[in-house]
Amino acid sequence: MSSGGLELAGVSAGYGETLVLEAIGLALPTGGSLAVLGRNGVGKTTLLATIMGHTRLHAGSIRFAGREIADLPPFRRARLGIGFVPQEREIFPSLSVAENLAVAARPGRQWSLDRVYDFFPSLAERRHHRGNQLSGGEQQMLAIGRALMGNPTLLLMDEPLEGLAPVIVDALLAGLERLKREADLALMLIEQHARLALELAQQAIVLDRGMIVFAGPSRDLLVAPDRLAALISVSGRGGGS
Ligand SMILES: Nc1ncnc2c1ncn2[C@@H]1O[C@H](COP(=O)(O)OP(=O)(O)OP(=O)(O)O)[C@@H](O)[C@H]1O
Ligand SMILES: [Mg+2]
C-alpha cells in the first residue's frame, strides 16, 4: 500500500555549505496528505526542493516508492512519480491551456486532458486561452494540471493558494479535496493559510529554523488554535520583520 510513499530520515540539507534543514524525519504514505507550516524563511520551500533534488544533501536518507532516491538527479525523481508545483507556477504563457497540459504528459495510466478538465472545470472552459490570458487562480490550476499530466504518485505544492481571491481559493480547494479522495496520490503542500491547509491535509508538520517542531494529525492543531499560533509565530532569528 505504501509503495508510492515518501520517507525522510535524518535529512540535513541546504545550499552549498549552508545548512537550512536539520535532522528532518517524516513519513507520508500513498493516499496520505501532509501540510507543511511555519513562518517565513524557516525552510519550507527548501524541504520540497530537497525532496526534488534541488539542494545539497548533507546527511540523511530520502526514500520514495520503496527505494533510496537521495542520489538521483531531479528529472529521475520526477520520472519515478514525484510531481512538483513550484511557487512560481511554471506554465508556458504563449501556449494554450490544452497545449500546456499536452506537453507535460508522460506515459501513465491515471491522467488525461479530460480527467484534468473534470477536476478543474474552469480549465476546460479556457482550454483555448493562452497561459498569459488566465487569472491567477486559473494559472495555479493549470500548474497543478501540468504536474498531474506527469502521472505522479506524490504531488508537492508550494503555497498553491497564495495571492488568490477567496472564491478562487474555494474552487481550488474543491479540486484538491477531490484529488485527495479520488486520486491514487500522496499530497504535500506548503501553506500560509494554516487553517485551510490543516482542514485539507490529514497530517501536518510545523518547521522552525529548519527543524520540525510539531508533527502529528492536523486535527490536533485545528482544535488548539493557541498552540497553532504559538508554533507558527515563534520568535524569529532577529533582524527580520
Ligand atoms: N537558493 C538559495 N540559496 C541560498 N540560500 C537560500 C536559497 N533559497 C533559500 N535560502 C535560504 O534558506 C532559508 C530557508 O528559505 P526557504 O525559502 O526554504 O523558506 P520558506 O519557509 O519557504 O520561506 P517563505 O515562507 O518565505 O517562502 C532562508 O534563510 C533563505 O534565505
Ligand atoms: Mg517558501
Q: What is the pLDDT of residues 50-76, one digit of tens each?
A: 999 999 999 999 999 999 999 999 999
Task: Give the span between the Cα atoms of 28 and 4, in whole angstroms.
Answer: 9
Q: Report strand pairing: 203-208 vs 18-28.
A: unpaired
Q: Is 164 helix (H, G, I), strand (E, B) or coil?
A: coil
* Ligand 1 touching residue 40 (CB < 6 A): yes
For residues 48 and 62, is the Cβ–Cβ distance under 8 A? no
For residues 91 and 131, is the Cβ–Cβ distance under 8 A? yes
- pLDDT given for residue 240 in this prediction: 36
- pLDDT given for residue 4 in this prediction: 62
Index of the ligand 1 atom closest to the CA of residue 49: 18
Query: Domain limits of the chain?
Result: 6-232
Residue ranges of alpha helices (H) inside 13-135 are 44-52, 74-80, 97-103, 113-119, 121-125
**What mean pLDDT do residues 117-132 have?**
94
* Ligand 1 touching residue 45 (CB < 6 A): yes
Instruction: State in words which class domain 6-232 has.
Output: alpha beta
Picking from 19-33, 91-105, 141-155, 226-240, which range would have the lowest pLDDT averaged per residue? 226-240
From 45, 47, 237, the mutation candidate for ligand 1 (largest count of ligand atoms within 8 A of CB) is 45
List, in sequence order, every beta strand (DSSP E) within 181-238: 186-190, 203-208, 211-217
Cell of 229: 499560533
Residues within 5 A (CB) of ion ligand 2: 44-45
| Amino acid of residue 50 | T
**What mean pLDDT do residues 112-140 have?**
94
Cell of 164: 488568490
Q: Is residue 109's pLDDT more than 90?
A: no
- Judge if pTM exceeds 0.85: yes
From 17, 42, 231, the mutation candidate for ligand 1 (largest count of ligand atoms within 8 A of CB) is 42
Nearest Cα residue to atom 31 of ligand 1: 41
Confidence category of residue 235, pLDDT binned at 50, 70, 90: very low
